[in-house]
Amino acid sequence: MGLTWRERAFTALLGAAAVSGLTTLILFLVEATNILLPADTKFGIVFDAGSSHTSLFVYQWLANKENDTGVVSQALACRAKGPGISSYASDPAQAGESLQGCLEAALALIPKAKHQQTPMFLGATGGMRLLSQKNSSQAEDVFAAVSQALSRSPVAFWGAELLAGQDEGALGWVTINYVLGLLVQYSFSGEWIQPLEGTLVGALDMGGASTQITFVPGGPILDTTTQATFRLYGTEHSVYTHSYLCFGRDQMLNRLLAGLVQSSPSLLVRHPCYHSGYRGTLALAPLYGSPCVQAAAPRDLGQNLTVEGTGNPGACVAAIRGLFNFSSCDGRGDCAFDRVYQPPVRGQFYVEASSPGQDGQLRDYCASGLYILTLLLEGYGFSQETWGGIEFRKQAGGTDIGWTLGYMLNLTSLIPAEAPAQWRAQSYGVWVAGVVFLVLTLTAILGATVVQLWLRD
């Protein structure tokens, strides 16, 4: 037997009341979630345009800051397709196009309502430094093309610039110490506190074109050109930092091979760092295209070079040592190599060494390993006693180690925090939702009771 029209009306009224109550409850919970957030979440985008590739990072932080510095976390890491932007010197437009895939991924992650307030910056490192030395006009064209492509996005584009080597090293130091919780950390009592002094670690960065060293020395920094100062979370930090252009992994391999070519009477080169049995052919012209290669080039760069591996570690180390000028520091305790001032290394260090790219080959592994060993021991001055304090990492705390996070931390001090009025607005919204929820619920109950009494009559 079917329901009477009165019973159907009663059922419909109860259903409407339930839907209204549930909808209001959902709105209430959404508003209640907002009040649990200390403040509005902000986002930032940073492109790291290195010599071998470009990476994009999206960072987020809460608008209320701790001693004028944001507590930042990594929300996205994306590696752009293709090589570094310096490789597009002959076709600058492609440099901008190569960044679009990662940019679209970032824009999909960040809420559209926050796009206009999201800063975006591209910092170019060793590869573009070399291109600027070799052909400043081409470097300017690449930067112009990249800027034009990125400025079309809906976010706030802050520019594409050449990042100084000192800044790259110092900002990398900030990143490592931040992700390790050595600049600021959350206590069990629910407060942000400053860690004990003397726990900060040093940073070593081995890129494709350059290498950087940054640490807090045990005494005063005598050469102010090697000093960088930051004020983070209410504390001032002063570090020693220096960047060595042409001492990155890829440029080291080029310089090493060019030196062997120069000492060979023919275009057949026996490479002590390549494994025995290796034999390969490569074009000469690209080898001498970098400003880092100072060796005299053969007259006919259109020829090919044949390289055979001999697998001789002793001869390999001797060839690698020839890339340094160690004698310029003889008798000086505050010198690394090439007459560069450096205080004695101190404390624990984290090393970020670039791995071979997609075109990396097994032949280069021996040279790369022995080069890093020579750089650390004879260049930077690590010893058997201090070697145990070195850790090789690509990430720390789930965050990529590099200069980009340090840049964003420093940037947050320039972005104002939200006004307290927003807290009042959020709280008011929660109370309004709660009142509306109670009113609708009581109305639904009252209506259902009336109808039920009506059906009984």
The catalytic residues are: 168
Distance CA 28, CA 437 (A): 8
Distance CA 66, CA 82 (A): 39
Instruction: Give DSSP secondary structure letters for 207-242.
Output: -SSEEEEEE--SS--S-GGGEEEEEETTEEEEEEEE
Cβ–Cβ < 8 Å for 208, 333 = no
Instruction: Give DSSP secondary structure letters for 307-330.
Output: EEE---HHHHHHHHHTTS-GGGGT
Distance between alpha carbon 178 and the CA centroid of its chain, in Å? 13
Distance CA 414, CA 400 (A): 23
Distance CA 65, CA 63 (A): 6
Nearest to 216 by CA among 347, 97, 60: 347
Q: Rg for the chain (alpha carbons), in Å?
A: 30
Structure tokens belonging to residue 5: 């029209």
Q: What is the number of residues in the chain?
A: 457
| Sign of the torsion angle spanned by Cα atoms 230, 187, 31, 16 | positive
| Sign of the torsion angle spanned by Cα atoms 301, 306, 309, 312 | negative
Cβ–Cβ < 8 Å for 354, 248 = yes
User: Which is it for strands 390-392 and 349-353: parallel, antiparallel or unpaired?
Assistant: parallel
Distance CA 175, CA 72 (A): 10
Distance CA 34, CA 62 (A): 13
Instruction: Give DSSP secondary structure letters for 183-208.
Output: S-EE-TTS-EEPPPTT---EEEEE-S
Distance CA 435, CA 424 (A): 16
